[in-house]
Amino acid sequence: MYRVVLVDDEHIILDGLSRAVRWDDMNCQVVGTASNGAEGLKLIQRLKPDILFTDIRMPNMDGLSMIAALRSEFPRLQIAVLTAFRDFEYAQTALNLGVCRYLLKPSKMEELYEAIRTMTAKLDALPPLPPDAEPEEDPASAGSAAGNYIVRQAMEYMQAHCTEHLSLGDVADHVYVSQWHLSKLINRHVNQSFFDILGRMRMELAKSLLADSGMRIHAVAEQVGYTDVAHFSKSFKRFVGVTPGEYRDSVKPK
């Protein structure tokens, strides 16, 4: 039996999917339902289902990032979107991230059954998963596209918040994956650590401030997220190759 989770903020949809679909006939079993995206993510991470039916436009949830996170962290998970949101580019992005079907509400029963048949067929075709092993992301698969999407979202968030006290956990929460998984994705797609990327972002901003303003070095350090000017100077030299003072002197107009 394939395990199914249903996520939708409309209770009538959850109830209808649970009751109206002949899940047993399709070799499936509904093992959990959730009425919002955050609750759904926790449920999926705990139950690790085979199939997900979900809305993609729910309060306080970036639907595309959620889909990318799930496809990246659970590449075997088959996802069908059931939504009233009619936007071609949005739907195309969802499909590129690995969504199996993008169904518009209200959907006909035959559309639902066709989606289930397609997803179970895909699951039937997968090779057995070794016990206690995480499936590796296939670089040519939609899982790779999802990983790229997550890394881009993470980098954009880091760039916007690099001067704050930012942790790997903060960024992982923003893109809906675990810290461990985000760290693995960043290393795979960018070939740098989280802290190196954050440090370089801060130093690029520091270089701009040192070149274009009369700010004192301790003020520049504070501006880019350092409370200790000595730590800032040491980090600056590691990334840039010279001290902040030497860099400022080198870019002064002659």
**What does the pLDDT look like over 146-192, one tens digit per residue?**
999 999 999 999 999 999 999 999 999 999 999 999 999 999 999 99
Whether 140 shows a pLDDT value over 70: the answer reads: no
Report the pLDDT value the prediction gives residue 77, as an integer from 0 to 100: 94
- Asked whether residue 34 is assigned to any structural domain, the reply reads yes
Domain boundary among 155, 177, 194: 194
**Whether residues 47 and 160 fall in one domain:** no
| Among 35, 22, 141, 17, CA closest to 80 | 17
Residues whose CB is less than 8 angstroms from the CB of residue 158 and which lie 6 or more positions away in sequence, other chains included: 166, 171, 197, 198, 201
What is the count of structural domains for the chain?
3
Residues 123-152 have a mean pLDDT of: 73
Q: Show the CA angle centred on residue 18, arms to residues 13 and 20, nearest 5°.
A: 85
Residues 79-96 have a mean pLDDT of: 89
**Whether residues 111 and 77 fall in one domain:** yes
Report the pLDDT value the prediction gives residue 142, as an integer from 0 to 100: 54
Contact predicate 41/176, CB 8 Å: yes
* Percent above pLDDT 70 for the chain: 94
Contact predicate 177/151, CB 8 Å: no
Provide the 3-class DSSP secondary structure of residue 128: coil
Q: Which domain holds residue 221?
A: 196-251
> Residue 22: which CATH number?
3.40.50.2300
**Whether residues 87 and 9 fall in one domain:** yes
By CB atoms closer than 10 A (0-12, 13-18, 19+), residue 72 is buried
Report the pLDDT value the prediction gives residue 58, as an integer from 0 to 100: 80
CA trace torsion 204, 209, 210, 214 (10° rounding): 180
